[in-house]
Structure 1
Amino acid sequence: MNFLDKAIGALAPGWGASRLRSRMAIRAYEAITPTRTHRVKRENRSGDQLIQLAGKSLREQARWFDNNHDLVIGALDKMEERIIGAKGIIVEPQPLTGTGTLNSVLAEKIRRCWAEWSVSPEVTGQYTRPVLERLMLRTWLRDGEVFTQVLTGKISGLSPVAGVPFWLEALEPDYIPLERTDNNSNLVQGIYFNEWRRPVKYLVCQSWPGAGAAAVAVKEVTAENMLHLRFTRRLNQARGASLLAPVIIRLMDLKEYEDSERIAARIAASLGMFIKKQDVGTDGYVAPEKRKETQIQPGMLFDGLNPGEDIGMIKSDRPNAGLESFRMGQLRAVAAGLRGSFSSIARNYDGTYSAQRQELVEAQEGYSILQDSFIAAFTRPLYRRWLAAAVASGAIEVPAGTDMSSLFNAVYSGPVMPWIDPLKEANAWRVLIRGGAATEGDWVRA
């Protein structure tokens, strides 16, 4: 405080305190001050506390949308196409020789064995690897997380695929009990952590927990044998939250609004007429005649009007002329919340080539981020553990002279950005290659 503030505080403490409060309010951000038109909303809970409270509800609501909401189904389908694609995540082995060159013979062996194993990689034998990856991606984005147990060695009831004793068991998040928390043993929402918040082991239900049974048997799976892919927006969050969480209310409002407009349009499409009778005056009340219905056919003549009566049609302002613009505005907000492309979600591809390509370039980075997260949490650790099992079992023999530190090297790639105008894209790549800014390999991958 300056001399004046100290003097005022000594003579009039209340006035001095008021001056200090006013000075602090002026210096602070306006956003922290609640007003009649600005309601301050804060969030001081941890990510784990939020998931403990809302994780199950968000997951179940998102599943309902995936079953019943066409926009959500289309958005998740598009993300499957742009992140995983029809062929799944492509893995290109890159082992090196002692001289630092690519060991093409070993790379081809690994590639063939990996392709054969990918035909039936999981315990049920129902899914190929690309199909399994698409289902896991959908579960990850919709439910917020997905788990995969890794099984190696001799397992009763399972036969090695391509000579590699290695299988996957994909698990929905319901199998890891969200309600199991014990601070004394560092158990947080079904996951045991060490003092550095690193997962040590997982609690896994041995059957579907929602089957109605009073108690479900639970087993423990070590972190080395579990892959956990989760979607989070907070640090140190044990479990994931649905990608749809920020847009659930908007999606439900949009669905109910469209349903109401559709019903109104159906009602308006039903032809309705009325008969206007002559004025009976105000001397007394005349009871209406019994209502009659007339079957109308194309080209018919109606001559049942009494003298003084007139026939008219009920008009409607449906369909709503502003529905399309309002819907598109809402879909733009949904696309922003889902890290997707508005054109792909709305299936609206109007616009010039420059505008379409600008949107495609911006949206591709969002898909690439999700693709990188999927590869980092699932594909890369899966491939490395599979290759270790293949080498240990003798399915793949590593030739002499191989740089063992590069054995697990690989290039992971998914769907690339599609071309809107192939001629323009090809000419652009020609310029890049001639200028040395790109290689022919980059062009092939694109």
Structure 2
Amino acid sequence: MAQKIKINVQPNIVDKVVTYFDPVKGQRRIQARAQMALAGSYIGADKSRRSFRNWFTSGNSADDDLLPDLPTLREHSRDLMRNAPLATGAINTVVTNVVGTGLVMQSHIDSKYLGLTEDQAAEWQRQTEREFRLWAENRFECDATSTQNFYAQQELMFRSALVNGDVLSILPSRQLPGCAYALKVQVVEGDRLATPPDMVASTKVFGGVEVDDFGATVAVHVANRHPSALARVRGTISYDRIPVRGEQTGRINVIHLFKRLRPDQRRGEPYLAPVIEPLKQLDRYTEAEIMAAVISGMFTVFVEHSADDAAPVPIESSAPGSAPELQLASGAIIDLEQGAKVNTANPGRPNVAFDPFVMAVLRQIGVALELPFEVLIKHFTASYSAARAALLEAWKFFKNRRVWLADNFCQPVYETWLAEAVANGRIAAPGFFADPAVRKAWCGAVWLGDGPGSLDPLKEVNAAEKRIDIGITTLAEETAAYDGGDWEAKHVQRVKEHRLRSEAGLLKQPSGVPAPPDPPSDNTDD
């Protein structure tokens, strides 16, 4: 039974006066005031306004809003990625700055909790990093398809998550001849993650994602092939239910990578989803302007004949029985039939308003994609300060996505690999399987990527030197921020280079420092 809402609206002095002279109008005034009290005070929710009359909204859940439109959003996003230069550039810019040449694992264990000395911890970390490179840099070790190494898989995973909204990474165990590890990474496109036909009515499966009573993902349902695969691989589609974690060991079996924007959201939306329409319209507008400019640039001469002139050479038609077809061409001379006239329309190109209009639209697109206008179009025409501000603002977004990729893909894969390495005896980690806290201490790692680059290297190096001098940063942090390198490795190399240069007599005395005095001579006067 619906609950009745009581609105207590007391008539004021004006209501009483109007009611005294006209009871009908007085009652209408009180009803109108009651409706205003019930509607609330936000203008943005007032549907009676003219500006809101054609604004149709929905209050659905995250899945109800996204899942019906997800296939179309993916198709549009891929088409823009293939055919729209601006969309391609935006995706490539994000991928290049977030992943670049790959995120490299640097082990950082909790040596104090594990009871290790500084030297013991450093040695364990070097050995683990060396062993991980054995797996990550070999495509036969890490890739289920034996196609990419782990760093190329990072780019593929991140790019697929941006373009399609989400992507799966299945972690099967497949021992190959000559390989030290059985762990493999299999990248699966989001199209194959779908609800089986016999489970459409289930209240626990949403877009192929199976959840428990708390809403946690317990399994995914993956098709054995892409729904739109080529004819040679078509067949009956079957679905495999893959548990997210092993029931007994807790091993990660599958990683579902997507950016969650709302509670209870089970699938991800493409990165370009908010700007698909303006990108497509801008692409059409650009194509039309290019065609108009091409037509405007063609110089064609038409030769007209009067009735007394000899018959012109007939124009060849493009197909038998069809009407003659005239085409503009650069420097063409077309002989018209007798009595034929040509009416032309000047397209007025190039359009002087084209560039300002496109730039205005691109600024709005950049805001939605969290890419400053200058970074989006790779065009820096303002001052040094403005260009640096744009790069710093973009780097906040890139850093955020890099941490997201490392936490949700790289680190889980590394922890799964480390568990196999410890179980096989290739790496010694006492207590790894006995205590989750000990395991967490052994699994500590940071993921270093390419640096943001620099506009004025001298200014930025001086600033880094100042930060180190006053103690607000370290050499390791500055090295990682500069080019994503390892300071300890650079330090060892620098010590080696300094020793070799010193032995070869190539070191120069710093300017402003007096040369050391010559050693005393052994020759003394008797």
Instruction: State the TM-score bracket (shorter-chain normalisation).
Output: 0.7 to 0.9
Match 1:199 to one of 199, 214, 217: 217
Give secondary structure in 1 for the equivalent of 2:210: strand
Q: 1:168 deviation in Å?
A: 0.8
Within a 5 Å distance, the mapping from 1:43-192 to structure 2 comes to: 43-86=58-101, 88-95=102-109, 96=111, 97-99=114-116, 101=118, 103-118=121-136, 119-120=138-139, 121-152=142-173, 155=174, 158-159=176-177, 161=179, 163-178=180-195, 182=200, 184=202, 186-192=204-210
Give secondary structure in 1 for the equivalent of 2:64: helix
Match 2:11 to one of 4, 22, 25: 4
Kept in 2: contact 1:52–1:179 (CA 8 A): no
Which residue does 1:306 correspond to in 2?
Answer: none
Aligned letter for 1:390? A
Q: 1:423 deviation in Å?
A: 0.6
Instruction: Assess, with a 3 A threshold, how the Cα gap between structure 1 residues 115 and 16 changes in structure 2: closer, same or farther.
Output: same
- Alignment deviations for residues 33-83 of structure 1 (CA, whole Å, 9 cap, x no partner): 232234444231111112221001101111111221221222111111110
- Alignment deviations for residues 269-311 of structure 1 (CA, whole Å, 9 cap, x no partner): 001457899xxxxxxxx97977799x9999xxxxxxxxxxxxx
Instruction: Assess, with a 3 A threshold, how the Cα gap between structure 1 residues 230 and 399 changes in structure 2: closer, same or farther.
Output: closer
Give secondary structure in 2 for the equivalent of 1:136: helix
Give secondary structure in 1 for the equivalent of 2:419: helix
- Alignment deviations for residues 379-400 of structure 1 (CA, whole Å, 9 cap, x no partner): 1111111111111112223379
More relative contact order, 1 or 2 (CA 8 Å, 6+ apart): 1
Kept in 2: contact 1:340–1:367 (CA 8 A): no
Match 1:336 to one of 367, 376, 388: 367
1:361 and 2:389 aligned: no
Q: 1:238 deviation in Å?
A: 0.6
Match 1:413 to one of 445, 448, 457: 448
- Alignment deviations for residues 313-351 of structure 1 (CA, whole Å, 9 cap, x no partner): 986521111111111222222222222232232121211
- Mean Cα displacement is larger for which, 191-200 or 14-23? 14-23
Unaligned stretches of 5+ residues in structure 2? 1-7, 246-252, 316-327, 332-343, 482-526
Kept in 2: contact 1:94–1:409 (CA 8 A): yes
Aligned letter for 2:375? S
Kept in 2: contact 1:202–1:220 (CA 8 A): yes
Q: 1:117 deviation in Å?
A: 0.5
Once residues 343 and 366 of structure 1 are traced to their aligned partners in structure 2, the CA distance between those partners, rounded to angstroms, is 14
* TM-score (norm. length: structure 1): 0.85
Aligned letter for 1:14? R
Which residue does 2:51 correspond to in 1?
Answer: 37
Once residues 244 and 232 of structure 1 are traced to their aligned partners in structure 2, the CA distance between those partners, rounded to angstroms, is 15
Instruction: Assess, with a 3 A threshold, how the Cα gap between structure 1 residues 21 and 187 changes in structure 2: closer, same or farther.
Output: closer
Once residues 423 and 153 of structure 2 are traced to their aligned partners in structure 1, the CA distance between those partners, rounded to angstroms, is 25
Match 1:390 to one of 417, 421, 432: 421
Which residue does 2:257 correspond to in 1?
Answer: 229
Aligned letter for 2:11? L
1:436 and 2:467 aligned: no
Within a 5 Å distance, the mapping from 1:313-352 to structure 2 comes to: 317-352=348-383
Aligned letter for 2:283? K
Once residues 104 and 329 of structure 2 are traced to their aligned partners in structure 1, the CA distance between those partners, rounded to angstroms, is 64
Give secondary structure in 2 for the equivalent of 1:192: strand
Give secondary structure in 2 for the equivalent of 1:197: coil
Give secondary structure in 1 for the equivalent of 2:50: coil
Kept in 2: contact 1:272–1:314 (CA 8 A): no
Within a 5 Å distance, the mapping from 1:244-255 to structure 2 comes to: 244-255=272-283
Give secondary structure in 2 for the equivalent of 1:53: coil
- Alignment deviations for residues 88-141 of structure 1 (CA, whole Å, 9 cap, x no partner): 112111122505747011111110111111122111111011111111111000
Q: 1:170 deviation in Å?
A: 0.7
1:258 and 2:286 aligned: yes
* TM-score (norm. length: structure 2): 0.72
Instruction: Assess, with a 3 A threshold, how the Cα gap between structure 1 residues 150 and 3 changes in structure 2: closer, same or farther.
Output: closer
What's the C-alpha RMSD, in Å, of the aligned pairs?
Answer: 3.3
Once residues 31 and 191 of structure 1 are traced to their aligned partners in structure 2, the CA distance between those partners, rounded to angstroms, is 36
Once residues 46 and 307 of structure 2 are traced to their aligned partners in structure 1, the CA distance between those partners, rounded to angstroms, is 65
Give secondary structure in 1 for the equivalent of 2:106: strand
Once residues 177 and 296 of structure 1 are traced to their aligned partners in structure 2, the CA distance between those partners, rounded to angstroms, is 52
Kept in 1: contact 2:196–2:221 (CA 8 A): no
Instruction: Assess, with a 3 A threshold, how the Cα gap between structure 1 residues 33 and 100 changes in structure 2: closer, same or farther.
Output: farther
Question: Which structure 1 residue ranges, 4+ long, deviate > 6 Å from structure 2?
Answer: 274-277, 286-293, 295-298, 399-403
Aligned letter for 1:409? G
Instruction: Assess, with a 3 A threshold, how the Cα gap between structure 1 residues 439 and 269 changes in structure 2: closer, same or farther.
Output: same
Instruction: Assess, with a 3 A threshold, how the Cα gap between structure 1 residues 435 and 341 changes in structure 2: closer, same or farther.
Output: same
Instruction: Assess, with a 3 A threshold, how the Cα gap between structure 1 residues 264 and 99 changes in structure 2: closer, same or farther.
Output: same
Once residues 194 and 445 of structure 2 are traced to their aligned partners in structure 1, the CA distance between those partners, rounded to angstroms, is 35
Give secondary structure in 2 for the equivalent of 1:74: helix
- How many residue pairs end up in the alignment? 419
- Mean Cα displacement is larger for which, 53-62 or 69-78? 69-78
Give secondary structure in 2 for the equivalent of 1:207: coil
Aligned letter for 2:454? W
Kept in 1: contact 2:375–2:394 (CA 8 A): no
Instruction: Assess, with a 3 A threshold, how the Cα gap between structure 1 residues 315 and 219 changes in structure 2: closer, same or farther.
Output: closer
